[in-house]
Amino acid sequence: MFKSIAPVFFRAFYGKIASPFFHVKSKKRRFADGWATENEVRIAKTAITKGSATVVKGTGNCLVIGEGAKFSGSVAVSGNGNRVAIGDNCNFRGDILVRGDYQTVSFGDHSTSAGIYILCQENRNVLIGKWCMFSREIEIRTTDAHSVVDRDTGQRLNSPGDVIVGDHVWVGVGSILNKGSIVPSDSIVGAMSFVNRGFEEEGIILAGTPAQIVKRNITWNRSRKASFPLDELYHWKAED
């Protein structure tokens, strides 16, 4: 038996043929290997990335991940001149899909997400401020991805729209921020809510389907205490 396997063993050892005794490891794929040439990528040295960043097609696209940021998930871009920016000291978990040209997806400094899907399409933008906190199973989308059409006129009824989230916004689990949503700074979106329009008043709680204001004159904090000094509540306004 030894004679029958010995030649295979030694030839495999010297790399001349494949053998069931050896496993050849492929080169480990780096996060931005799929970010094609003629596109720009700037990842800070202190950033930690896991997943993939890919330009499916297009040129002039830019990906920026800031100092101290943690990114786990994927970025996929099809189009030209788009910009995806993850700010400093962020912790982003999720997936970003950009289709079209000259659009921006920004995730502000110190913001976090436990699980988020962002669809940016039809020449619209997703702009998320600083110090935000997103839970899991959240969708943000600038488009319905398909058309709703008036049967008499043939006109499309569900136009796309930007999604804008201010600073220090907490978005609860399972929420959807649909096209045209504006969530003002220092506000909360309750779990499983569907936001589909703009709001202007800060310090509110939005909840329901569709979302509406259910409480005013609030703020929030990541920690759990009976009371808070004002400087702790409004640290996000004082810090860059």
pLDDT one-digit tens code per residue, 51-92: 999 999 999 999 999 999 999 999 999 999 999 999 999 999
Burial of 34 (0-12, 13-18, 19+ CB in 10 A): middle
Which pLDDT belongs to residue 8? Answer: 45
Mean per-residue pLDDT, 192-201: 98
How much is the mean pLDDT over the chain? 90
Per the CB < 8 A criterion, the answer to whether 12 and 5 are in contact is no
State pTM to two decimals: 0.86
- Residue 36 pLDDT class (50, 70, 90 cuts): confident
Tokens of 162: 């930007």
Report the distance separating Cα 174 and Cα 138, nearest Å. Answer: 5
Which of 15-24, 129-138, 228-237 is most confident?
129-138
pLDDT tops 60 at residue 213: yes
Helix (H, G, I), strand (E, B) or coil at 5: helix
178-189, pLDDT tens digit by residue? Answer: 999 999 999 999
116 — pLDDT class (breaks 50, 70, 90)? very high
| DSSP characters over 52-104 | EEEEEE-SS-EEEE-TT-EEEEEEEEESSS-EEEE-TT-EEEEEEEEESSS-E
Mean pLDDT within 192-197: 98
- Predicted confidence at residue 239, as pLDDT, reads 66
User: In this structure, are residues 193 and 173 in contact, taking their beta carbons and an 8 Å threshold?
Assistant: no
Percent of the chain scored above 70 by pLDDT? 87
* Cα–Cα dist 61/99, whole Å: 11
pLDDT at site 240:
56
